[in-house]
Amino acid sequence: MLNDIFDWFMIMANNKSVTLVIFVATFTAIIIYVYGSKKRSARLETYRNIPFLDDNDLRVPGYTKDSEINADTASEKK
């Protein structure tokens, strides 16, 4: 039984169709995961301009030096 399944996969015509279905399902799952949540989608859309920012420009949403410093001092207080 198991040998028959492996023989079926060895036929290239069968292998291509199964591989296509797996890739399409994986691609669809990734797209739904990334854009399914409005919060995640909005966060990812804000990241699209990061390559165009200067090194000294810290206008990345959600990033401030104060939040980094506060996180360090909060962990030291615990």
Q: How far apart are CA 36 and CA 55, in angstroms?
A: 32
Output the CA–CA distances (angstroms, integers) from residue 57 to 22, 25, 76, in the order listed.
42, 39, 28
Q: Which parts of the chain are beta strand (E)?
A: none
More confident residue, 73 or 52: 52
Does the pTM exceed 0.75?
A: no
Rounded to an integer, what distance in angstroms lies between the CA atom of residue 3 and that of residue 38? 47
| pLDDT tens string 24-39 | 999 999 999 888 888 8
Give 73 or 23, the one with higher predicted confidence: 23
Mean pLDDT of 65-70: 54
What b/e sequence results for 25-48 when a residue is b if at least 16 CB atoms lie within 10 Å of its CB, and e otherwise?
eeeeeeeeeeeeeeeeeeeeeeee
